Amino acid sequence: MTGRRHVDASQPNQDNYAIENFDDSAICIVSDVAGSRLYSEIGSRLVVDLALAYLKNQVGIGFNFANKTQLLTMSRELISRMKCAAKSKATEKELDFKEYAATFHAVVVAKNSLAYIHLGDGALVFINDNGEYQLANIPIKGEYINQTVFFTSDGAEQAVETFFLPYVPEFFSLATDGIENISLIYKDWSVHAPIFDYLRGFFNHECPKEVLQKFLCREEIEARSDDDKTVIIARNLHKCDESYEGVYEH
């Protein structure tokens, strides 16, 4: 969803995402831009396209996402490939490759498990085995809350983080940082449950995507965040409560 800041400037939504289901697996990816970088939107698209192809291949060859060491090593290799692709593109255009700066978040659901790879701000929130909302990892920030790390940053390969669940949760939400300040409480990085209660309820609508878009356009949401907002919500049909209805009160 295009944020008010970009609407006022007659600019498009600069986030990028991908969702792909195949066999008994799924891959979800979101990427946000660095607003100060000229070609960041192109970098964000590069991140999504390259990561989708790479992760599909890893699933196809039976990669063991449960091995934390291998998962982190694979994630660092992926960030390195992103950098190489951006440098190649930048060389052709005679640009600094850091002009393609973007964040990266990916969820891979495979073999009845969930793996999460992330670099930069944005977040994965899921329902844990206790039925509570849980933030997978704290978003990666810089010295200040509005700073972060991009795939083009120095040391990005070492900064990338991973998370693994040996099961597929009933519900999860993967989002860029556009909804951070309405969904997370910064002082202790706890989850603002009413937002996710409401998101879970969207699946009971005939067109959940349309309902989600309308929700993100609400005045009280725009008042808290004028950034682009990309949110992927998913549920496990084997675990979900079909009758669940969420009500959002701000």
Could you report the per-residue pLDDT of 61-81, keeping only the tens digit for each?
999 999 999 999 999 999 999
Per-residue model confidence (pLDDT) at position 146: 55
- pLDDT tens digits, residue range 37-66? 678 889 999 999 999 999 999 999 999 999
CA distance 172 to 134: 9
User: Is 249 contained in some domain?
Assistant: no
> What does the pLDDT read at residue 206?
67
CA separation, residue 46 to residues 40, 54, 82, 94, 105 (Å): 10, 12, 8, 17, 13
- Residue 242 falls inside a structural domain: no
In the chain, the number of structural domains is 1
What's 87's domain CATH number? 3.60.40.10
Q: What domain range includes position 139?
A: 4-235
> Confidence class of residue 249 from pLDDT cuts 50, 70 and 90?
very low
Query: Is 245 inside any structural domain?
Result: no
Residue 183: its pLDDT value, please? 86
Tell me the C-alpha distance between 80 and 131, whole Å: 37
pLDDT of 211 reads: 75
Establish if 189 belongs to a structural domain: yes
| 241 in a structural domain | no
In a domain, 246, yes or no: no
Indicate if the pLDDT at residue 105 is higher than 80. yes
For residue 243, is it within any domain?
no
Q: State pLDDT tens for residues 197-228.
A: 988 887 776 666 777 777 766 766 666 555 56
Q: What is the reported pTM? A: 0.86
Q: Is residue 43 part of a domain?
A: yes
* pLDDT value at 243 more than 70: no
Q: How does pLDDT run across 134-179, given as a tens digit for each residue? A: 999 998 876 555 578 999 999 999 999 999 999 999 999 999 877 7
Task: Provide mean pLDDT across the span 96-123.
Answer: 94
Q: What is the 3-state secondary structure (H, E, C) of 49-84?
A: HHHHHHHHHHHHCCCCCCCHHHHHHHHHHHHHHHHH
